[in-house]
Each structure stands twice: as C-alpha cells, then as structure tokens.
Structure 1
C-alpha cells in the first residue's frame, strides 16, 4: 500500500469515526431526551412548555444544526491535518 493510500485510509477512518460520534449524540438527544427521558424532562418547564416536549419538537432539530456546524469545523481541521485543504 502506498503512502498516499495509507493517508487516504486514515483520513476516511477518522472521518467515519467523527460521523458515528456526532450521529450518536443526535440519536441520544432526539431519542433519549424526546422519548426515553420525556417524563423526567417534562417536570422542567422552558418557555411555558415541558422540556421533554420541547426536545421532541424542536430541541433535536437545534442539536442537529449545531452538529452540522461542528462537523464542518471538524472536517476543516481534518483536511488541514491530512493536507487536503485548498
């Protein structure tokens, strides 16, 4: 395996690791906070709404958008690390 292939393989391995971590966070927020822990979170009010309801309706969307920006930032640093930035 050439040096270029090793570099590309390491790049994609790290990229997929970032994807799994970020998607796990999104899953935990959307499924965990919106469904599993809904009853516990509903004891807390936020803007007049129960927190479990808020996470199920809007919180997971906000977290997803934040994760998109985090992914962009992570990928920019990953590109620089492996020399793929232009």
Structure 2
C-alpha cells in the first residue's frame, strides 16, 4: 500500500522564483526568471557563454568569445601576440 502512494519524478521541476511575478531580463522574453535574472532558457545560454554578459571573462579581441587565459586574451590570441614577438 505504501508503494502505491509513492510518486517518482522523471526530472527535477523547473520552478520560477518570485512566484512568477518577475520576468527574464532579456529584452522581449516574458518567461519568469529562475536565476541571475534570467529564465531557465536564457540561464542555460548564459552558462554556455552564448549571451553578451558571459559567465567567464572573455578574450578582449573583437568577436572572440573564448575564455581568457593570460593578459585578457584567450590561449590562441595570446600565443599569436606574444610567441611572434619572442621569435
């Protein structure tokens, strides 16, 4: 009888914070926010680094969204800049 009353969740429910009264901070998105003022969809994009204000510091070169390594540059751009100067 106790086994019949058990319910199992197939996945963790995505619950909005603020009782759904606060909206996502991305322009045009009306979903309720979940974390970091983003809805679950945009929060996932933020974690992956797809939004302008990414999770990590990004390379200072134009159009490069890679995570910084040294001197504000990603590994690729750092090597291009400083390895040529040393050679």
- Give the TM-score, by structure 1 length: 0.31
The structure with the greater share of residues assigned to helix is 1
1 or 2, which has the higher strand percentage?
1
- Normalising by structure 2, we get a TM-score of 0.31
